[in-house]
């Protein structure tokens, strides 16, 4: 992923090769994170992407469920739950002093005590 470079410009990313798509996304993310100047920006981007994937899977689950296809719906709901866990885990990982998403040291949200 880190070494991917587009071979030639494409009119639409729909027509791009896999390497072109990867290079395009990496370039956009790096451009955005350069503006922040902190590793926390990667967490913000990842959190948003994970949320959008969670939301998509939840919507597809609902659609299949409404159509009476419970088995397929449950598969999509399970995967939505996986994205929910990934998002929760990510938000609890501290990524520096700018990280406003992670619990503070005073907040023991893990349910354990020292």
CA-nearest of 103, 96, 101 to 48 is 101
Render pLDDT for 51-87 as a digit per residue (tens, 0 to 9): 999 999 999 999 999 999 999 999 999 999 999 999 9
Tell me the average pLDDT across 103-109: 67
Q: Is the pTM of this model over 0.75?
A: yes
The per-residue pLDDT for 12 is 86
Render pLDDT for 19-56 as a digit per residue (tens, 0 to 9): 999 999 999 999 999 999 999 999 999 999 999 999 99
* C-alpha to C-alpha distance for 23 and 58, rounded to whole angstroms: 29
Q: Which whole-number Å values give the CA distances from 94 to 17, 40, 102, 104, in the listed order?
A: 35, 9, 5, 9
* C-alpha to C-alpha distance for 103 and 112, rounded to whole angstroms: 14
Whether the Cβ atoms of residue 9 and residue 24 lie closer than 8 Å to each other: no
* C-alpha to C-alpha distance for 68 and 56, rounded to whole angstroms: 19
């Amino acid at each position: 992923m880190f070494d991917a470079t587009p071979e030639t410009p494409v009119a639409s990313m729909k027509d791009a090769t896999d390497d072109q798509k990867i290079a395009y996304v990496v370039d956009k993310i790096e451009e955005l994170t350069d503006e922040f100047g902190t590793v926390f920006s990667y967490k913000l981007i990842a959190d948003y992407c994970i949320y959008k994937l969670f939301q998509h899977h939840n919507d597809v689950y609902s659609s299949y469920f409404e159509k009476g296809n419970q088995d397929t719906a449950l598969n999509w709901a399970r995967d939505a739950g996986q994205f929910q866990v990934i998002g929760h885990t990510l938000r609890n990982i501290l990524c520096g002093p700018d990280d406003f998403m992670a619990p503070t040291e005073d907040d023991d949200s893990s349910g354990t005590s020292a």
